[in-house]
Structure 1
């Protein structure tokens, strides 16, 4: 099963086994990662699952869809080139070992 490491703003790390097809938001919420809120339940409607993808994995992700791009303009924390919404990234074998950093606040 692929693994993802969530690093909260304070440095706490959560290494999670995430089934293929699950979103990074789902993995965070179901494993007690407090830096993700996911207020909209994963419908790309709130930007409270904003995260920063490790540069080594950015090119492995699907392109940002227009809806995600628009929501990323609404994040509380600063948008960076590696900003994504966790609800829009589904785990695949190619993402095994993925590391994401979480902003200080989501809302």
Structure 2
């Protein structure tokens, strides 16, 4: 289990525990975190679970695969370094303490 902090665009933090094997997107959805819409349900077919990863975590996460890179082109104000799709981030003990911030809106 990992504690993940989701920060709304307005700065409101939500720290929740997410079970290993779930995705960061599922953790937000299951805990009612506002700001992650997840329209495609985690199929990497949209960009509505886009977040900015805290700079301290960028290098600790697995690399983006080509599909995620492509979908991030559709995200609202993507950052080439910090933007990730939460449906592509599998939770494990290694993600304990992860901090992500939601963009102003999802598109």
TM-score by length of 1: 0.96
| Residue aligned with 1:29, SS | helix
| Residue aligned with 2:38, SS | coil
Could you tell me how far 1:10 is from its partner in structure 2? Answer: 0.9
Q: Deviations over 1:14-73 (max 9, x none)?
A: 101011111111000111111000000000001000000111111111110000000000
Unmatched runs of 5 consecutive residues or more in structure 1:
none
Q: Which residue of 1 aligns with 2:8?
A: 8
Q: Which residue of 1 aligns with 2:35?
A: 35
C-alpha distance in structure 2 between counterparts of 1:2 and 1:24, whole Å = 10
Could you tell me how far 1:97 is from its partner in structure 2? Answer: 0.4
Could you tell me how far 1:12 is from its partner in structure 2? Answer: 1.1
Segments ≥4 residues shifted beyond 6 Å: none
